[in-house]
Structure 1
Amino acid sequence: MLENSVVMVAIILIINIVYVSFFTIRMILTLKGQRYLAALLSTVEVVIYVVGLGLVLDNLNEIHNLIAYAVGYGLGVLAGMKIEEKLALGYITVNVITKEYDLQFTKMLREKGYGVTSWMAYGMEGDRLAMQILTPRKSERKLYETIQDIDPKAFIISYEPKTIHGGFWVKAVRKGRLNQ
């Protein structure tokens, strides 16, 4: 079966897609502090890597195997990114600045379960409402849509917090209450 070059190319391609997808997920798990799961995944990852690389090195004179390896690597990066997008592990903090300095804005977000800290700010063109909001990454899109519905011109910046400690956020995050 492995003598057939089309089958060999397909196997190498699939192995590398799986390997690089695992690699991407392992890196994300490591960055998110999931060290034991990352270590377990890396064990499987390295076996897949050695098998795939072995197939290419055993048949180094076949250029199409090397091309399949490279293409599989690129497709694996794309697949890993899509998987990470679907997993959406962790939380994001969203900073919002709006001309709508009516406190109804914060009330509406809180009613939807978001942790909101707000303060009055002054921008180049006058008074503004500044808010900091915590949400699970899985709810990121929904939060943006909610903000855009309230104020389509709101200025939004988001980032992933490394550590969350104290206040409403920690209590709600630990109890899983951030349910948009």
Structure 2
Amino acid sequence: MGVLLFIFFIQIAYVTTSTLRLIVMMKGNAKLASIISFGEVFIYLLGLATVLDNIDNWLNVVVYCFGFALGVYTGSLIEEKMAMGYVTVQVITRKEDSDMPQQLRNAGFGVTSWLGEGLSGERLVLMVLTKRRRQAELVNKIKEIDSQAFVVSSEPKTFIGGFWVRRTQ
């Protein structure tokens, strides 16, 4: 039973570490990602060696796979809590005379807005850049102002100039 628990928890640790390394690397921190990868491979080898040493028990392989699956889930939960980086949120509202840009600015968000053309007339288009941990707050504020607004978000890799560069320097 001790071997099964070891395999299970080592797999959770391995995949969680692997997920975190990938996130850190995608956010552009190659040095931290390489440090994390050392621990990741060490944990992986411990788990794999244990399974291979006890390969005669099929339950070890099943637990190894189950630990992997739970590690993916655990890693995604941790990533959600970390909420690293920024999101760009584009908002399209039918209310071209809306004061949404000013309300969002008053809430601490950087907003650029312009008039656009939709299928049935003018639309107000907003581009908002915010930290990922504030994304839910932003979306809730948008819904509060205009529940019919069209909202799309994405994660920018790089940005130069503008509101955020001045604030983060």
TM-score above 0.5: yes
1:92-131 equivalence runs, <5 A: 92-131=87-126
Query: Any idea what the Cα deviations from partners look like across 1:76-129, whole Å, max 9, x if unmatched?
Result: 000001100000110000000001222411000001111100001110121110
Please report the TM-score for the alignment, with normalisation by the length of structure 1: 0.92
Alignment correspondent of 1:78: 73
Give the drift of 1:169.
2.1
Q: Secondary structure at the match of 1:96?
A: strand
Residue type of the alignment partner of 2:161: G
Out of 132, 136, 139, the residue aligned to residue 137 of structure 1 is 132
Alignment correspondent of 1:9: 4
Out of 124, 145, 151, the residue aligned to residue 156 of structure 1 is 151
Residue type of the alignment partner of 1:42: S
Answer with 95-104 or 17-26: which moved more: 95-104
Alignment correspondent of 2:51: 56
How many residue pairs align between the two structures? 169
Query: Any idea what the Cα deviations from partners look like across 1:28-51, whole Å, max 9, x if unmatched?
Result: 100101111111111111111100
Q: Secondary structure at the match of 2:127?
A: strand
Please report the TM-score for the alignment, with normalisation by the length of structure 2: 0.97
Cα separation, 2, equivalents of 1:112 and 1:105: 11
Alignment correspondent of 1:24: 19
Residue type of the alignment partner of 2:109: Y
Structure 1 stretches (4+) deviating beyond 4 angstroms?
Answer: none
Q: Secondary structure at the match of 1:101?
A: coil
Residue type of the alignment partner of 1:136: K
Q: Secondary structure at the match of 1:89?
A: coil
Give the drift of 1:7.
1.5
Unaligned runs of 5+ in 2: none
Query: Any idea what the Cα deviations from partners look like across 1:42-76, whole Å, max 9, x if unmatched?
Result: 11111111000000000111101000100000000
Aligned Cα root-mean-square deviation (Å): 0.9
Residue type of the alignment partner of 1:16: Q
Match status 1:147 vs 2:146: no
Residue type of the alignment partner of 2:33: A
Q: Secondary structure at the match of 1:163?
A: coil
Unaligned runs of 5+ in 1: 1-5, 176-180
Give the drift of 1:27.
0.4
